[in-house]
Amino acid sequence: MRIIDTERIPIMVWTEQIEEGALVQAKNLANVPYAYDHIAIMPDCHQGYGMPIGGVMAAAGAIVPNAVGVDIGCGMCAVRTSLETMQKSRLKTILEQVRQAVPVGFTHHKHDQDEGYMPERKGDLPVAEREYGSALRQIGTLGGGNHFIEIQKGSDGRIWIMVHSGSRNIGKQVADHYNLVAVRNAEKWDTGVPKAWQLACLPEGSKEAKLYQGEMQFCVDFAFNNRKLMMDRILEIFSVQYKGDIAFDPMVNIAHNYAARENHYHRSLFVHRKGATRALPGQTGIIPGSQGSASYVVRGKGNPLSFMSCSHGAGRRMGRKQAVRELSFNEEVRKLEEKGILHSIRSKKDLDEAGGAYKDIDKVMADQEDLVDIVVRLAPLGVIKG
């Protein structure tokens, strides 16, 4: 970790290199009046909207929608199975059946899902109520971008199942609505933050902040239920394939886009984690790699300098359009097939999610040895992406 001390508060950075755009955003964060003590930048950081992905900001007296992002509650879940091996033919069959059971990309369910899968609605949720009908067809769907379903072989000798997904369109609608509210009221609230920084806030205690907190929590709960429903349907496929001769450990779950009230440095603060994962002492977490690279189950060390956080993945090293433009389709496919991975790169447009578009996950893990301990290393066997 190194410290940048040129701004109003220090910036603590867990990487040797940080792209210019992300650095500018980190400096902006360090100069907003509600940022408290220091800013923490994880080793997977890259430029986002307003706040870099892989950033952690503790705020006093305010909550910032753009410091949470549009995929509220996005996160990881994983289940360890009793299986020690899996034949490639069986793996192909399972992946085909998962694709039939779990819509991916922009595809939703054709019919409403049972409302019992949806989170409980608490308090005033104007945006969530408006989007509730659409969400009934999105619950249990993967989405696109960097979301994935992966079957993996662990360093513990077991087969694992991992799902990465979030709150789908309902999270984006909530994020966009309350960021717009913050922008429109910026002059009235007089925070002194330039509009160009994209860090408009909702003052703590305001009606708008209370509404956002309730809706954000609904989206976090929706994202969890979304992952769990997909995982339940995947486990059912495994159970049928193995005729019940299989056991599953309890699901591990961790989110990486949210703001939560926590106590740090003897003060109650809103800790914003945007593409960062909570890593409390002894807490089990998940840090995924890119398509074709390892993922990790980790145990948090509770480092106070990172506000008890760690990275949420490998982090992009190039933008999506740049990856499609510059990466070699044949080379990316060759690297995956040499490892025997059943992958999701079918055409050049899929290169936006190729391994070459991401940072080296092993370097990212080495950069945060003071934040987490590795529990299990997970090597990919088969991948489904949107």
Domain of 222, CATH number, reads 3.90.1860.10
Joined together, the tokens standing for residue 12 give 């603590």
Sequential pLDDT tens for the chain (386 residues) = 999 999 999 999 999 989 999 999 999 999 999 999 999 999 999 999 999 999 999 999 999 999 999 999 999 999 999 999 999 999 999 999 999 999 999 999 999 999 999 999 999 999 999 999 999 999 999 999 999 999 999 999 999 999 999 999 999 999 999 999 999 999 899 989 999 999 999 999 999 999 999 999 999 999 999 999 999 999 999 999 999 899 999 999 999 999 999 999 999 999 999 999 999 999 999 999 998 999 999 999 999 999 999 999 999 999 999 999 999 999 999 999 999 999 989 999 999 999 999 999 999 999 999 999 999 999 999 999 97
How much is the CA Rg of the chain, to the nearest whole Å? 20
330 is a domain residue:
no
- Residue 73 to residue 55: CA distance in whole angstroms: 15
Task: Write down the pLDDT at residue 341.
Answer: 94
Q: Could you tell me which residues come within 8 angstroms of residue 368 by beta carbon, excluding any fewer than 6 positions away?
A: 14, 42, 43, 310, 311
352 is a domain residue:
no
- Residue 306 to residue 309: CA distance in whole angstroms: 5
339 is a domain residue:
no
**Cα→Cα distances 15→23, 173, 181, 311, 367, Å:** 12, 33, 34, 11, 6
**Cα–Cα nearest to 32, from 309, 270, 306:** 270
- Residue 212 to residue 224: CA distance in whole angstroms: 18
Burial class (CB in 10 A: 0-12, 13-18, 19+), 218: buried
Task: Write down the pLDDT at residue 386.
Answer: 79
| C-beta separation of 47 from 66 below 8 A | no
Place of tokens 């055409």: 347
Helix (H) or strand (E) holding 24: helix 20-31
Q: Characterise 290 by phi-psi region: left (phi > 0), alpha (psi -120 to 50), beta (else).
A: beta
Give the active site residue among 46, 108, 164, 312.
312
338 is a domain residue:
no
Joined together, the tokens standing for residue 251 give 């699901």
Residue type, 377: R
348 is a domain residue:
no
Q: Residue 119: which domain range?
A: 2-317+358-385
Active site residue 312: yes
Render pLDDT for 71-118 as a digit per residue (tens, 0 to 9): 999 999 999 999 999 999 999 999 999 999 999 999 999 999 999 999
141 is a domain residue:
yes
DSSP states of 226-295: HHHHHHHHHHHHHHHHTTT---BPPPEEEE-EEEEEEEETTEEEEEEEESEEE--TT-EEEE---TTS-E
Task: Write down the pLDDT at residue 157.
Answer: 98
Structural domains counted in the chain = 1
The predicted model scores a pTM of 0.96
34 is a domain residue:
yes
The four Cα atoms 369, 371, 374, 378 give a dihedral, to 10 degrees, of -100
- Residue 74 to residue 294: CA distance in whole angstroms: 20
331 is a domain residue:
no
Task: Write down the pLDDT at residue 238.
Answer: 98
